[in-house]
Amino acid sequence: MTTTMAQALNAALRDALKEDDNVLVFGEDVGALGGVFRVTDGITADFGEDRCFDTPLAESGIVGFAVGMAMGGFRPVVEMQFDAFAYPAFEQITSHVAKLRNRTRGALELPMVIRIPYAGGIGGVEHHCDSSEVYYTHTPGLRVVTPGTAQDAYDLLRDAIESPDPVIFLEPKVRYWSGEEVSFTRRGPAMDKAVVRRHGKDVTLIAYGPMVATAMETAEAAKDEGWDVEVVDLRSLSPFDDETVTASVRRTGRAVVVHEAAGFGGYGAEVVARVTEQCFHQLHAPVLRVTGLDIPYPAPKLERHTLPDVDRILDTIARLQWHDTPVVAGA
């Protein structure tokens, strides 16, 4: 039976609520409505308003409340509703969520999950689509993960809820309705491990979240061009799994990083730096990026012009110096 990513997340929340009475789910419209994307559909009806409940429209208050609950022994799972709605809570996240364990010299853990539907592809209006992952990955003290498949949505959310550390859980909105066969018996790879989604020998595509499916589509299309493409799904943005990524790039000798956030100062720049530093002598060409444009997130009818797609990724792969012809200055 096919399970969508939204259904897999719902199942993960339900299983966590069943197994641990300290797990609580709250946020804007997560109760009776079941969330904007219906990820929490039916949970309040089945578990009661004490376990899954609505909050005021005050993101800073939601996260601040969750901090207190986590300090008191609960495991709160909060929803920010939309990526760009989370910014009012940014001070709480960076100043308190990320720092509390360090400030208390490890005396206080903060086992909480902040679920954020993120990225584009759904035709959302202003403030409803953004790719804000780099704000969180740049903040020490936070784990940042994002599923690219329905199976990973279930596995990663279960692991995130059980983690003693605060987790920013980025849910790619455009993939909520994508489905596959999902096993609920667990467990998949560890939460901080990347996985090779497709093996290949010519070039490594490094992607995460909404771009994993796009990378897989590209790998299939690349066969017509004679390229055998390997796809690595990062899953964990922080911490970063250097071992899996660099092992893949050393095998293929070429790499392209794909994400829909803006390119300048984007997450891909860190990936390129790490891969270049660790794989320099195995690289046959510079590591390239395919990213969103360096503009504010566009209006719905224009987003297709900024989101990476198969054609843009194939064009970038073609630039990876496939012919070992020396370049002569001034020629």
User: Could you list the active site residues?
Assistant: 128
In terms of Cα–Cα distance, which of 205, 196, 201 is closest to 256? 205
Strands 195-198 and 236-238: unpaired
Could you give the CA distance from residue 60 to residue 66 in angstroms, rounded to a whole number? 10
Entry field: residues in the chain: 331
